[in-house]
Structure 1
Amino acid sequence: MRKVNKFAIWAFALSSLLLSSCVTKVKENQSQPTVSINPLSVKFGDPYVLLASDGMYYMYGTGGGAVDGFSVYSSPDLVNWKDEGQVYRGNIEGSWAVANFWAPEVYERNGKFYMLFSADWKVNPTKELENFRIGVAVADKPTGPFKELSSAPLFDPGYPAIDGNLIDTEDGRTFLYYSRCCYKNPVESEIAEQAKKEGKFDEIEESWIYGIEVKPDLTGVIGEPILLLRPPLKLDDKQSEWESRSVTTGEVNRRWSEGPYTFKKGDTYYMMYSANYFGGKNYAVGYATSKNPLGPFIKSPDNPVLEKNIEKGGIVTGTGHNSATWSKDGKQMYCVYHGRTEKTGNERVVFIDKMGVDENGRLYVEGPTTAPE
């Protein structure tokens, strides 16, 4: 009978244990989330992401191949996105919206999904070139189909309005933020005077951000709109340089305050907004804060918090019109926005970067990034 080598048995057992541990570690590493690289393949402008009660993320935006309406992408992890197709179509019989479908946002409320969107209103007796209004569509699922809640826009402020955004307060009230378009809104300011003196433009039109209370069922408004944000009037205003770049570079005779996205942290409302020409490289994001949903809002001295990075060796320009979403455990906030690169050209594509509010109440965005996360 052959003698058993106890040392050999012990060594074999130890090596098997180590190998098993290594295999387990490899499997654990393989199960980690897929690496994300900006920009995403989704070709949206004005992206908005909803984390729905079914545990999935849904992204809506301008363009993306939709005809007279909007498409949606779904994702379990903010990394891998599936095209779910077109979920809303206007310019059909009974629709108030006939063209230029922009900036959809979707909210889950009482078991339904409500889409806030901008479009050209078919009622246009004076034949305005920009006749945009904000409307609401509703669906039973985040993937639609969405049907218009009314045969008319949510309300008519008497001027073109776009980029609707909603927030609910603890006392059960709902507020709408939107942007009045630059169209036929020339404004006298030191920036306009300088542009005229330099021979750039004879006048400067501006868009402004307003707020108004809306009915909880989103069928109408309560009260009158209140002006909340506008481009600065003075050249020595700290916000003037970055918010006026489209004018000072001779790009276009307009200044924008648009694309509001508002959330509350603690007792403070944070309103993120975009400035400069949405089709140019200087499009950027700032924010303002208030203790009340209808202001007054004070712009941050840290603005802009998101802008092009080509001067710093990066490849991204035209960063703007953002929304925000959260990780499923609610611990990490993400900024969702569109931008451009040399490779994508004029096509707007989606970026997602980490963001947050620090211990001093200062909002920050860790972007734009194009490296693995």
Structure 2
Amino acid sequence: MVKTQDIQIRDPFIFPDQKSGNYYLFGSTDKNIWGKGTGFDVYVSPDLDNWEGPYPVFRPEEDFYSEENFWAPEVHEYKGKYYMFATFLRKDNGCRGTGVLVSNQLMGPFKPHSTSPLTPENWYSLDGTLFIDKNGKPWLVFCHEWVQVSDGQICAVQLQDNLVDVIGDPIILFRASEARWPTSFQHKRFPGRNNYVTDGPFVITLPNGELGMLWASFINNVYAQGISRSRTGTIQGPWEHDSEAIYQNNGGHGMIFQTFEGDFKLTLHAPNDTPNERPLFLDIEINDNGRIKVMGESECKFNKR
């Protein structure tokens, strides 16, 4: 057994499995996530505190389209199978993108489902997540990286029902600078340019029918987690933004899940420093009006104007 505080992981994603009564913790598990990737592992726990693992769930074959930057895996159950959406650095052109893997079971092995990343070939993209709209249509929501566009974007593109390819071109949902809480920064690779980060989008449907989106950026060079919302309940928006981040303690890339007892939790990694990053599980409250309270941190109102 390993304790939560002893797990080095970035971009944590929890799959609560009702069938087994266990929580499956996926994430960026390579010790050196900035270099050559070895794959993805999973940890399994009945209580979010004591974990078994790590167990390998994906190891790439030699002909796989990436060998670096294996980041931010999310696992979603869809039409009887388990699909992993993850970021990979392409071998052919050095751009990052989100690809899809598939398995018949949560423990893998996961195998390539898409023949290449589904994000645009020449875009630097990352942190794709699956969202199923009210009509049952699948969407890929992802970030168009600041390294390419300066002002990081959150984008969406509709997927084919079999999740093998996209339908049409991506649409820009919003840019990081449109929210009040992120701050710009300078980078030596891009002298004189103001940059804004978008990381880790995750979309939930609120009790009042609106959509809430978690996403991460930086406040004065400190990693932070904020929330935007679509009052129309559609992924196309328009999207509005809370004025303050809900987590500002050098952590982010979060997602929300429900425990077996029916409580809601936010998980993210903190601090944002390798090799010290650990998964955090924060209690939250969501009321019928779409209002969220992060216990012990701060309060966020999805319907705040």
TM over 0.5: yes
Q: CA deviation at 1:283?
A: 0.7
Structure 2 residue runs of 5 or longer lacking an equivalent are 188-192, 299-305
TM-score, structure 1 as length reference? 0.70
Tell me if 1:229 matches 2:174.
yes
Whether the aligned pair in 2 keeps the contact of 1:104 and 1:118 (CA below 8 Å) is yes
Aligned residue in 1 for 2:285: 356
Structure 1 residue runs of 5 or longer lacking an equivalent are 1-36, 186-204, 234-238, 309-317
The match for 1:255 among 187, 196, 201 is 196
The match for 1:333 among 239, 264, 268 is 264
Aligned residue in 1 for 2:10: 45
Which residue identity does 2:258 align to in structure 1? W
Q: Distance in 2 between matches of 1:295 and 1:69?
A: 35
- 1:38-91 CA distances to partner (integer Å, 9 max, x unpaired)? x6322111110111242221011112549521110011122211114221123x
Whether the aligned pair in 2 keeps the contact of 1:306 and 1:367 (CA below 8 Å) is no
The match for 2:183 among 219, 244, 247 is 244
Aligned residue in 2 for 1:286: 226
Which residue identity does 1:45 align to in structure 2? R
Aligned residue in 2 for 1:146: 110
Q: Distance in 2 between matches of 1:319 and 1:246?
A: 17
Aligned residue in 1 for 2:190: none
Aligned residue in 2 for 1:76: 46
Q: Distance in 2 between matches of 1:79 and 1:281?
A: 30
The match for 1:59 among 25, 47, 51 is 25
The verdict on how the C-alpha distance between 1:299 and 1:142 changes in structure 2, with shifts beyond 3 A counting, is same
The total of aligned residue pairs comes to 284
Aligned residue in 2 for 1:88: 58
Q: Distance in 2 between matches of 1:107 and 1:134?
A: 14
Which residue identity does 1:104 align to in structure 2? P
Tell me if 1:137 matches 2:101.
yes
Aligned residue in 2 for 1:366: 295
Whether the aligned pair in 2 keeps the contact of 1:351 and 1:368 (CA below 8 Å) is no
Where does 1:264-343 land on structure 2 (aligned, <5 Å)? 264-266=205-207, 267-276=209-218, 282-290=222-230, 291=232, 292-301=234-243, 303-308=244-249, 318-329=250-261, 331-340=262-271
Which residue identity does 1:323 align to in structure 2? M
Higher strand share: 2
Aligned residue in 2 for 1:20: none
**How large is the RMSD of aligned CA atoms in angstroms?**
2.6
Q: Distance in 2 between matches of 1:79 and 1:95?
A: 34
Q: CA deviation at 1:179?
A: 0.4
Whether the aligned pair in 2 keeps the contact of 1:246 and 1:282 (CA below 8 Å) is no
Q: CA deviation at 1:164?
A: 0.7
**Secondary structure in structure 2 of the residue aligned to 1:43:** coil
Whether the aligned pair in 1 keeps the contact of 2:23 and 2:47 (CA below 8 Å) is yes
**Secondary structure in structure 2 of the residue aligned to 1:243:** coil
The list of structure 1 runs, each at least 4 consecutive aligned residues, that deviate by more than 6 angstroms after superposition, is none
- 1:318-348 CA distances to partner (integer Å, 9 max, x unpaired)? 110001111114x31100100029xx87521
Q: Distance in 2 between matches of 1:222 and 1:69?
A: 28
Whether the aligned pair in 2 keeps the contact of 1:52 and 1:108 (CA below 8 Å) is no
Q: Distance in 1 between matches of 2:50 and 2:221?
A: 27
Whether the aligned pair in 2 keeps the contact of 1:45 and 1:61 (CA below 8 Å) is yes
Aligned residue in 2 for 1:6: none
The verdict on how the C-alpha distance between 1:60 and 1:281 changes in structure 2, with shifts beyond 3 A counting, is farther
Aligned residue in 2 for 1:26: none
Q: Distance in 1 between matches of 2:86 and 2:205?
A: 22
Whether the aligned pair in 2 keeps the contact of 1:272 and 1:288 (CA below 8 Å) is yes
Whether the aligned pair in 1 keeps the contact of 2:18 and 2:260 (CA below 8 Å) is no
Whether the aligned pair in 1 keeps the contact of 2:30 and 2:39 (CA below 8 Å) is no
Aligned residue in 1 for 2:303: none
Tell me if 1:212 matches 2:212.
no
Q: Distance in 1 between matches of 2:64 and 2:91?
A: 8
The verdict on how the C-alpha distance between 1:253 and 1:71 changes in structure 2, with shifts beyond 3 A counting, is farther
Q: CA deviation at 1:110?
A: 2.7
- 1:338-367 CA distances to partner (integer Å, 9 max, x unpaired)? 0029xx875211100112323542223224
- 1:283-337 CA distances to partner (integer Å, 9 max, x unpaired)? 1111111121221111023x211111xxxxxxxxx110001111114x3110010
**Secondary structure in structure 2 of the residue aligned to 1:183:** helix
